[in-house]
Structure 1
Amino acid sequence: MKEVKIETKLQVYNDIKELPKDIQRLMDSAIEARDNAYAPYSKFKVGAAILLDSGNVVIGSNQENASYPSGLCAERTAIYYAGAKHPKAKILKMALTASSQNQVTDTPIPPCGACRQAIAEYEIKQDQFIEIYFMGAKGKVVKSNSLANLLPLGFDRSFL
């Protein structure tokens, strides 16, 4: 038997004002997208903003449905739109923010497992890491230099 240790390094900013100016603007786009989310059931709104290598910013917000599995998270809404609208562009950075109407969300909220898998697919497809910044409605912001930091031992096409 062999024991394997997996480590993840993340950077933590005290608030959005500590971020570089370009990331502040990207997070502002994610906040705007979050505010326009359609979340009448969970009351949990999420916004995503993606910076492409072309300089374009693509946004997405979660879109719920009374048939819960039919909804879509903000991260996948944005990343799939980027893939459809800008298929040759590389994703450089992604900003995520989430808020709840039921409680204060002041801790960083990372992407769910399904979104991590979708982001991983694009990171592998473009053979380049995607910086990911995530936060709640306020407070600390976490930066991961790649999705692989958030999804170690990920599943990819090499297993197929």
Structure 2
Amino acid sequence: MKEVNITATLHVYDNLEECPEDIQGLMHKAFEARDKAYAPYSKFLVGAALILEDGTIVTGNNQENAAYPSGLCAERTAIFYAGSQYPDKKITRMALSASSSNHTVMTPIPPCGACRQSISEYEIKQETPIEIYFMGQTGKVVKVSSLSDLLPLAFDKSYL
């Protein structure tokens, strides 16, 4: 037997003001998207903002449904829209923010497993990493340079 260690590198900013100005602007777009989320059941609102290689910004938010599996997360809403409307443009960065109607979210909230898999697919397709910044409503901001830091053993088309 052989032991294998997998490491991930995270960069943690104490607050949004510590982030580069362009990231602050992108995160504010995520805030705007988050505030328009449709989350009547969980009361957990998430916003995503993507920037494409040409500077286009695409946003998305979570959309819930009484039949829970029928909803869609903010990250996938944004990334699927970008893929359908701008299929030849690479996604360079993604900003995510989450809030709750029940309490203040101060912990950085990363993408869920399904969203990680979807983001991974786009990184593989475009052959370049996507920087991801995520936070709650306030507080620390976490940056990863690639989805592979959040999903190091991704399932991809090479297994099919």
Superposition TM-score, scaled by structure 1 size: 0.99
Superposition TM-score, scaled by structure 2 size: 0.99
Query: Partner of 2:133: helix, strand, or coil?
Result: strand
Task: Give a deviation string over 1:52-92, Cα, whole Å, max 9, x none.
Answer: 00110000000000000000000000000000010000000
Instruction: Give the 5 Å matches for 1:88-127.
Output: 88-127=88-127
Paired residue type of 1:90: K
Deviation at 1:104, TM superposition (A): 1.8
> Hey, what does 1:19 align to over in structure 2?
19
2: distance between equivalents of 1:15 and 1:81? 29
Query: Partner of 1:151: helix, strand, or coil?
Result: coil
> Hey, what does 1:8 align to over in structure 2?
8
Q: Which runs of 4+ in 1 moved over 4 A?
A: none
> Hey, what does 2:143 align to over in structure 1?
143
> Hey, what does 2:46 align to over in structure 1?
46
Paired residue type of 1:83: G
2: distance between equivalents of 1:61 and 1:14? 24
Structure 1 gap segments, 5+ residues each: none
Over the matched positions of the two proteins, sequence identity in percent amounts to 66
1: distance between equivalents of 2:128 and 2:95? 17
Query: Partner of 2:123: helix, strand, or coil?
Result: helix
1: distance between equivalents of 2:139 and 2:148? 24
Paired residue type of 2:18: E
Q: How many residues align?
A: 160
C-alpha RMSD of the superposition: 0.4
2: distance between equivalents of 1:4 and 1:132? 26
Deviation at 1:107, TM superposition (A): 0.8
Structure 2 gap segments, 5+ residues each: none
> Hey, what does 2:68 align to over in structure 1?
68
